[in-house]
Amino acid sequence: MKLWRSNKPNLKRLNEIITVLNKYDFGFVAIKIQLKSKIPLIDHSYEYESIEELDETLPVRLRQVLQELGTTYIKLGQTLSTRPDLVGDDFAREFSKLQDDNPPLDFKLIRKVVESELGDRLENLFLEFDEEPLASASIGQVHRAVLNDNREVAVKIQKPGVEELVKTDLSMMKFLAKRIDEFIPPARNYNLPGIVNEFERSILKEIDYIQEVRNINVFNNNFKDVDYVYVPRTHAPYCTPKVMTMELVKGTKVSEVVLHPQEFNPKLIARRGVESYFKQIMIDGFFHADPHSANIYILEDNVICFLDFGMMGILDADFQENLAELFIYFMDTNVNGIINQLMYMDILEQDARSRSLKYDLTDLMYRYYGTELKGIQGGMEDLVSLMRKYGVSLPREFVLMARGIAMLEELGLQLDPEFNAVEILKPMTIKIVKKKFSPFKLVDFIKDNIFEVEHLLKTLPRSINRTLYKIEEGKFTLEVEHKDLERISNKISMALIISALLIGSSLTILSDKGILILGLPFLGVIGFTLSAILGFWMVISLMK
């Protein structure tokens, strides 16, 4: 297949796509998006004439379409299976059945890729290289090999032509998504162009094996001091965008441990698995986005080993802190707290639907009233579904995290029916929230934003002068509704005093002079303490 070289669709591939659509009763789509005239040999299906007529077989037939269209479309379906917030639970569940298995390629083709990428003959690069693959998928296959220093490794090789195929299909997907969005109004609810753009970012990372090597190295650094998690080492000289060489892991799939736990400690494995995953989310901000049972191995002494680092989630420090607070509200079944926190995180907006959402969220939380909350798996998935009902677009990382937690909790319960994930999560979240209000955290915030404060101090007098000039010239218009003006002005004055105290205390601490307490200047600590007390009092007064 030729590379995509213009905005015009590849007619041969387009013909293949519409043929498959027609086969599974989606022929009306070609009619609706005005492509029938471009492919005259295709007759549309008369089973359905519009998207409104589609029935409960829709998810199944769409999954069959993706499966038949091959590599890129299978990957699209698998990606969407992790995003029920975008496509709904029925589609996500059906797309999770998509199979990525693929017959292995002739070893001569694999040899050619390895030698081309690593720049030498296979015999010079490895002492041994098994011709039969350990596993084969649509994008690549894995072979066992032995390096010249006798280290046993697994070599993942990208199949020839995959990159070109993916890029061609991505261009076709963009073309079709744009036309469907333009000509089939009901499909706009799914924002197909946005889905394709997000998928493009995801799959281009997945077919770049150097990105996966970076992910493994970051993950390894995060767990270097954790003895119950093992991260396989990569071998940089044998890694390129199309070849990745890493340590061969010899262990037992956790799914096998569930079936045959005699030689293991299932309760310990359950705790370690969930604890390590919460660490990834709440502490590291870098988590495995696809922790299903096939990607987790158990080594000697019940050590956890994650595999397949192609899809990772990233959370910044602010999001982690906000997430910790959301978990606390969730574990306390505090509906108002959950709604306010989702608004604070810019996930929800304050509008007329808030009252209705509150009722639905109260119904959801009611399931946990009067019982000991042992996990958040079902609740987080229900929360995602509820957000979908209200048309709320959730951040990608939020959904991946919720899905990952659900997978690990379900696995934990299979290993130990009495497993309690909340016992692990709650202390971790409380610790993060306490850290958020630490004076040291405030100092870090000031240090991180010192240039913005300095810019504000420089530009504030100039802005005030401009405003006063406009007032003098009669060019300044201000509309004020006189309502509790005196009380508001008092609070503004108090806010200015607190701001002045914070800035002064910050400058004092940065000076690092005078009497020190815990390594910090005494006056700065007093200033921060007084600011905190006044700020707390002001927040209480605002809530009255």
How far apart CA 19 and CA 460 sit, in angstroms, is 65
CB of 158 within 8 A of CB of 208?
no
Residue 401, Cα to own-chain centre: how many angstroms?
Answer: 6
336: tokens are: 């108002």
pLDDT given for residue 103 in this prediction:
82
Helix ranges, 390-521 (H) = 396-415, 422-436, 439-448, 450-472, 485-511
pLDDT given for residue 304 in this prediction:
97
Strands (E) across 308-372 are located at 312-314
CA distance to 142, 235, 515, per residue, from 90 (Å)? 33, 42, 64
Q: How many CA atoms lie within 13 A of 174 on its CB side?
A: 16
DSSP string for 121-146: -HHHHEEEE-SS-SEEBSSEEEEEEE
DSSP string for 175-205: HHHHHHHHH-GGGGGG-HHHHHHHHHHHHHH
Q: Which residue's entry shows tokens 């005239």?
A: 37
How far apart CA 347 and CA 77 sit, in angstroms, is 25
How far apart CA 336 and CA 319 sit, in angstroms, is 19
CA distance to 61, 439, 501, per residue, from 529 (Å)? 63, 8, 10
Output DSSP code: residue 105: P
Output DSSP code: residue 263: T
Return the amino acid letter for 5: R
436, with CB counted inside 10 A (0-12, 13-18, 19+), is middle
Closest by Cα among 363, 359, 395, 355 to 379: 363
In this structure, the dihedral spanned by the alpha carbons of residues 17, 23, 29 and 35, taken in order and rounded to 10 degrees, is 50
222: tokens are: 């995060």
CB of 173 within 8 A of CB of 196?
yes
pLDDT given for residue 5 in this prediction:
46
Closest by Cα among 221, 233, 216, 228 to 273: 228
Output DSSP code: residue 335: H
- Residue ranges for the chain with pLDDT beneath 70: 1-9, 36-55, 100-101, 350-354, 367-379, 435-451, 453-454, 456-457, 474-491, 493-494, 498, 501-502, 504-525, 528, 535-544
pTM: 0.74
Q: Which helix (H) or strand (E) holds 92?
A: helix 89-95
Instruction: Mark 302-333 as b/e (b = at least 16 C-beta within 10 Å).
Output: bbbbbbbbbbbbebeeebbbbbbbbbbbbbeb
Angle at 236 between CA 240 and CA 157, to 5 degrees: 40
pLDDT given for residue 46 in this prediction:
47
CB of 209 within 8 A of CB of 156?
yes
How far apart CA 30 and CA 32 sit, in angstroms, is 6
* Stated length of the chain: 544
pLDDT given for residue 44 in this prediction:
46
pLDDT given for residue 476 in this prediction:
62
Q: Which residue's entry shows tokens 């998690």?
A: 229
Beta strand 286-288 with 229-230 is: unpaired
Q: Which helix (H) or strand (E) holds 252?
A: strand 252-253
SS3 of 436-453: the string is HCCHHHHHHHHHHCHHHH
State the helix-helix crossing angle for 266-278 and 422-436, rounded to 10 degrees. Answer: 30
How far apart CA 61 and CA 68 sit, in angstroms, is 11
